Structure 1
Amino acid sequence: MAYRMWELYELPSLRRTATDIWAVKTTTSLERPRYIIIGFQNIENSDDISKDVTKFTHANINNIRLYLNSEVYPYERWNLDFDKKLDSAAYYAYENFQRSYYDKDMGEPMMNIEEFRKNPLFLIDCRHQPDALKSSNVDIKLEFETRRTQFPDNTRVYALILHDAYLTYSALDGSIQTRAP
């Protein structure tokens, strides 16, 4: 039986620098990531019950890179600037997520480009991995860059990792085994 699992990780606060690297986790070949969904949130908004905790921010992000060992996703830098509306690379990744996740011909994103600019979620498609990653442990690291001298204060980061999982059920002895995709 094939299915997709997800895990949510939280980085409580970005450092006061122009770049930050977050070592999210190390996985086995049984849990190779397929997609990473990243959201930045102002901590002040999330701790106040009168504020909408479903709102995310762009946090002046210039670029996001995912490292699976030595493999980098996306290969091209995004060079984002939300103030100048230079965000099409991030929106394109968001827009194509549904199409690739559900294997559909056309995507129907929940947010148009204007809504995305107000409440962005950054998606990284890492389905296409070399064979070397398929048989080893994989270190998952995220690198964030900002156009400013430092990230905004009180910025929390969430990473939702979606990965494939397979179970094999043996009716004879009732055992369940996981296996690599």
Structure 2
Amino acid sequence: MHSFDALTGGWDAVCGTSGARGTLRLSAFRSVRRLPGPTAPPAHVVRYRCGCGEDHDLLMSGVELDLAPIRSTFGAHFDLMTGRMGEEPDAGVELWWRSMRRGHWPVTLHCAHHDAPVPAWPSCLRALEPDDERSVSRLLVHFECPLCDRRGAQLMRPEALELVPRLH
């Protein structure tokens, strides 16, 4: 199981070449492929660009890919009101829920078949092509629209793929 760290905004990952541990951010994904089989829970193979410069594959469940970022937003934290460490496992879910009700989803895509931006999840992504592997400033993101199941593509900055609640 790959845990999501809300502070670093990524999943834990181990380099397939050196064995070094690192953080896997959504902008390092290169492809997401759903495996055939049961629909609940779905399993995905995520190909990502590792810090070693090579691409590695990672098997992730739908829960790890889509829900772990939401669940882990708040775990143990310093409560400024009480001056003590606290843990509210549902606080992260509530924070994301409020953010999503305002229209700020973990990932927002622009499908040509819809007038408004489409709320999406990391599992909707199909391929991410960077403009330059050494210093990525733009990604061509290929996706499958969660509303109409059609394929689309859009140019995005890596920052737009950061999995943090947007509080507006």
TM superposition score normalised by structure 2: 0.23
State the structure with bigger RCO (CA 8 A, min sep 6), 1 or 2: 1
TM superposition score normalised by structure 1: 0.22
- Structure of larger gyration radius: 1
